[in-house]
Chain A
Amino acid sequence: MTEAPTDTLSGRVAAAEAARSPWRDVWDQFRHHRGAMFGVWVLGLILLVVLAGPWIWHLDPTKSDILARNKPASWAHPLGSDHLGRDLLARMMAGGRISLAVGVTAMVLSILLGTLIGALSGYFRKIDTLLMRITDLFLALPLLPLLLLMMTLFRDPLAKTFGPEGGIFILIVGGIALTSWMHTARIVRGEVLVVKEREFVLAARSIGTPPHRIITRHILPNVLSPVMVSATLGIASAIITESALSFLGLGFPPDFPTWGRLLFDAMERIQLYPWQVILPGIAISLTVLSVNYIGNGLRDALDPRIRGR
């Protein structure tokens, strides 16, 4: 592109346009989305506190101090302490790490599964009907009841093999991924069906590129934008699902707290110490809100029909 003749006016315009990468356009659009920028800042702040916080705040989230039970906020415990005298700031940071790890891991698994099924289904006509039938079947399943069921049924055997923490993590992440890949699969399939008819795919096929490489090198990069949006919104819904499971008492064990579990534990003392309930609730809500705003901003920025308006 840079070797294009630059002496004519149209050539110069083309060169100037080529210098701007499409991602730059996306970023420019994204930057002007007020909600999305709010989301980026808030999420960034939450991530900073949760990830870097423990280096500054050294209290152990599981160490109990019976003399300092249910204390209000003070210099020793900036967010107070819970019914066993454990520091709430340390517990919130520990809980946030797990909540966010669950959200991100579940989203990655769900997107991988959804993209795999969607791409196979869109590219290979032979298995399309079968895979879409399976997708429809999954969409017709009552997901929350099934998730609850999986949590109770497979908690103990998985805890035996992978340890109490690892087992429940695998179970929750796997359960959320298994019950949330369908929309991604449908979106990816739709996009693949359109992209695979384009000329560059035909060109790739005519020089003998094997199907798996056509999918990974030529088709998937072109369906990236809807997948990215779906992934962002997926983190939000995974965090909500995990906290809902924990809230129903079927999530993480109490000595391995997440925000949802902290809220659930504090429910017993809601009359006396409502603050202990509100704190994790605000953390969950702010995280989900900012992730949703980022997702919306991404969707607007990646949509070429809206971009530039």
Chain B
Amino acid sequence: MFNYTLRSLAIAIPTLLIISLVIFLLLEAAPGDPLGEVPLTVPPEVKEKMRTALGLDAAWYIRYLLWLKQFFWIEPLHLVDRIFGTGYAQGMQRVISFQSRLPVMDVIAERIPQTLVVVGMAYLLGVLIAVPIGILQAYRQYGLFDQVGSFVAMIGFSVPTFFTGTLLIIIFAIKLHWFPSVYDTTLRVTDWSSFWAQVRQMTLPVAVLALANASQFSSYMRASMLDNLGQDYVRTARAKGMSERVVVLVHVLRNSLIAVVTVIALGIPGIFGGAIITEQVFKVNGLGQQLISSIHANDLPMVMTLTFIFAILIILFNLIADILYGLLDPRIRYD
């Protein structure tokens, strides 16, 4: 197991490097000019100086290596400085956003809480809804509950989140005035009334994402339960005279969760990507919204760093899912 983990890590690093190169070259091949927004009245020699100041006049591979150094060496050093109050990263150039002239990582750190709160809550809720539904569906396969559940799940992953989002806005925000349609990120939770306001503004985006996640997981859960319900050990457990409750909720559930837990781990990076759309619908200023506004503003360092962080998350959680699977299922042996 340990060897397997090491080997996967060894593969993950070159994969990440190649991905970062792919993203960098894609941005490089782009015809857009980061100085395109600069007014025409600025004289060309000043523009040239600005170009040098932004580091745009160097060859692409030098800028790529510089970015790698900034991302993998200076930014972690800076984080160490932040935590321990040391001065290792003093005077070193961090990754700077073209758009806001702030270090990219600071902007991202500002945005992460909103994304994590909304998206994380939705994911958690989705899983909590999906597991019992999947169990009930599988236990009474082809029953009424199963039919209705499958139909709702089918709708859940056929209807795009931007449409469920707008539909909920029309019904609950515009017609009924129950919830606000725009997520107010300046809101600080200080007392009960602001906490209530926070809950209300989170309800719609969380509901949209939770529905999408739940419909996906409940069908996995159902399939996994069905696989296990037909196994010999279930018959043995029943023959031993165990109560139906223990058979289903202890024996079968624990074994079915093995497959589902890995699916849940694999889905975590996807939620950051999927949240791009939901954040746009409800105007949550999280990571996804930042990515879109940076793309529109041709803010290359920000786009590069954000996209790469998404890639890191995907690879990290693939690895975690692999390892979890090996740890949970004693039949899986990687050596």
Contacts and interface: CB of A to CB of B under 8 A. Distances in A.
Contacts of B169: 270
A240 interface: yes
A152 B296 contact: yes
Contacts of B273: 142-145
Interface in A155-173: 156-157
B22 interface: yes
A267 B291 contact: no
B80 interface: no
B239 interface: no
| Best-buried of A236, A243, A288, A296 by chain B (most CB within 10 Å) | A288
Interface in A25-39: 35
Contacts of B15: 136-137, 140
Contact of A263 (B157, B166, B291): B166
A89 interface: no
B30 A146 contact: no
A278 B303 contact: no
- Chain B CB count within 10 A is highest, among A140, A250, A288, for A140
A102 to B, nearest CB: 14
Main secondary structure of the interface of B (DSSP, over half): helix
Contact of B174 (A145, A156, A236, A271): A271
Contacts of A140: 15, 19, 311, 314-315, 318
A153 B311 contact: no
A244 interface: yes
Contact of A137 (B19, B26, B166, B310): B19
Nearest to A156: B31
B276 A267 contact: no
B117 to A, nearest CB: 21
Interface in B255-303: 269, 273-274, 276-277, 280, 291-292, 295-296, 298, 303
Interface residues of B, number: 43
Contact of B295 (A142, A152, A157, A270): A152
Given A270-B170, A289-B155, A145 B276 contact: yes
A148 B318 CA distance: 23
Contacts of A143: 273
A250 B276 CA distance: 13
Interface string B16-30: 001100110011011
Contacts of B276: 144-145, 148, 248
Nearest to B22: A141
Contacts of B291: 145, 148
Contacts of B159: 281, 285, 288-289
B307 interface: yes
Contacts of B295: 148-149, 152, 250
A292 B158 contact: yes
B160 A145 contact: no
B74 to A, nearest CB: 23
Contact of A153 (B19, B26, B155, B307): B26
Nearest to A243: B160
Contacts of B311: 140-142
Interface in A278-297: 278, 281, 284-285, 288-289, 292-293, 296
B158 A270 contact: no
A240 B29 CA distance: 27
A144 B17 CA distance: 19
Interface string B240-263: 000000000000000000000000
Interface in B154-176: 154-155, 157-160, 162-163, 166-167, 169-170, 174
B166 A267 contact: yes
A293 B32 CA distance: 42
A244 B298 CA distance: 21
Interface in A107-148: 136-137, 140-146, 148
Contacts of A137: 15, 18-19
Contacts of A248: 276-277, 280, 292
A149 B304 CA distance: 10
A18 interface: no
Given A141-B22, A289-B154, A270 B166 contact: yes
A150 B307 CA distance: 12
Given A146-B307, A278-B167, A153 B32 contact: yes
A140 B307 CA distance: 12
Given A153-B32, A236-B158, A284-B163, A145 B310 contact: yes
A154 interface: yes
Interface string A269-280: 011001001100
A252 interface: no
Interface of A: 35, 136-137, 140-146, 148-150, 152-154, 156-157, 236, 240, 243-244, 247-248, 250, 263, 267, 270-271, 274, 277-278, 281, 284-285, 288-289, 292-293, 296
27 contacts: A137-B15, A140-B315, A140-B318, A141-B22, A142-B269, A142-B273, A142-B314, A144-B274, A145-B310, A148-B291, A149-B26, A154-B31, A243-B162, A244-B162, A247-B162, A248-B276, A248-B277, A250-B295, A263-B162, A263-B166, A270-B170, A277-B166, A277-B170, A288-B159, A289-B159, A293-B154, A296-B154
Given A142-B310, A153-B26, A271-B174, 17 more contacts: A137-B18, A140-B315, A141-B22, A141-B311, A145-B276, A145-B303, A145-B306, A145-B310, A244-B277, A247-B160, A248-B280, A270-B170, A270-B174, A278-B170, A288-B158, A288-B160, A289-B155
Chain A to chain B: the 4 pairs with minimum beta-carbon distance, closest first: A142-B310, A153-B30, A281-B163, A289-B158
Interface of B: 15, 18-19, 22-23, 26-27, 29-32, 154-155, 157-160, 162-163, 166-167, 169-170, 174, 269, 273-274, 276-277, 280, 291-292, 295-296, 298, 303, 306-307, 310-311, 314-315, 318
